[in-house]
Structure 1
Amino acid sequence: MQSEAYAYPFCAVVGQEQAKLALLLHAVNPTLRGVLLVGEPGTAKSTMIRGLAELLRDQRGMTIPLHVDEERLFGGIDTAAAIRFGERRVVPGLLREADGNWLTIHEVNLMRESILRAILSAAEQDGYDQAEGEQLSWVPSSFRLYGTMNPEEGSLPNALLDRWGLYVPVSTLTDPAERAEIVRRRLAFERDPSGFVHAFAAESQALRERLAQARAHLPAVRIGEP
């Protein structure tokens, strides 16, 4: 079986404790409004997001293409159906499909700013306005938002960076022992992805249960004045 059929276990990622903590916090409390992992290639940014998605099995994952246009993002009138059948059909967009699930944007700094701003606004407001002819209708869409970014390929305006709930720098590990362990685990995963995932199954299940417990306790959490 190809390794692509399996997600590299979240618990198997070596180091990157801040990034993992941010993702887990957001998994418990999505009102933190998104996590942006920023670092050079090879720092397991996408691997951690895919691993977290495997822990959140009650939700479906989607990736927004960098060059998506407004019509695909928001949906709209199906012009082909209108021309062929004279019917007025509204085609849902990617943001509508993301409702109740999680959404990832890889290399957010390469996405058109107006599109990224629209996605961030939908995440903040749990929905967006959709044009239907000359009318606007409100479309609810509540989703978890995750992004990655390589600062070597460009930056984002501060106004857009500030709209992510958690901004986490992710650095290349320099400890020789950690780097060696990364290589050992990656080779083991490539040789036998099913066996590797199974080896971390108990740890993954324990973390999944901790996340469920944390979600259950969250409504009772109160922040003291100090």
Structure 2
Amino acid sequence: MTEYKVILLLTLIYIASFAIFMLRQTGVLFAPTFGFRGGYVFLRSLPWLLISLLVVFIVVLEILVRHYSFAYRRPLLYSVAGIAFLVIAGGYAVAITSFHGRMFRSAERGELPLAGGFYREYGHQRFRNIHKGSVEEVFENKLTIKNRRDETLSVVMTPETYFPSGSDFSPGDLVVVFGDRDDHAVRASGIRKIDFDYDSDVRPMPRRR
């Protein structure tokens, strides 16, 4: 019975880490930094199917661990909160490694037969208001960025555009643009630079001496 609990816990951590990775991969994770409207878009764009799976599995795991005296003697809310904290903390720890980035790249190359479709479906989601890409060119009131789908977008900046991390952009910078898209043009309500992208951080394994 114990091995089933361990497997279930690892599954929960994997799902949580995958959800966090995909929120970052698509740029949704940064939407709340663009104010109230960004927060609304963030809630609307959450992977609710994955979140529902997490809730169901957490409930199942809670039922299983209630057989142990240390969990049985504690209020239900405490044990559920403890499991949720462990899952989220573990998921975050995995999400900030290059694990999912490697898996995602393998899926893009067609080298991940089982979970490849899963990664591609979530990783290539298109959102109306959130656009993540690498800066190609910088002009006075405009940027051009290239996204993961190899599309080039023209990002128009206005006096109302909000820059939560500053407006000093250079070619090669990774950015998340918040704004409405019309064909290949985006009128930016906000632009945020991302200092580090775990998806592209695929380091070679160190050689053993």
Short-chain TM bin: under 0.3
TM-score by length of 2: 0.26
TM-score (norm 1): 0.25
Task: Tell which has more relative contact order, 1 or 2 (C-alpha 8 A, sep 6+).
Answer: 1
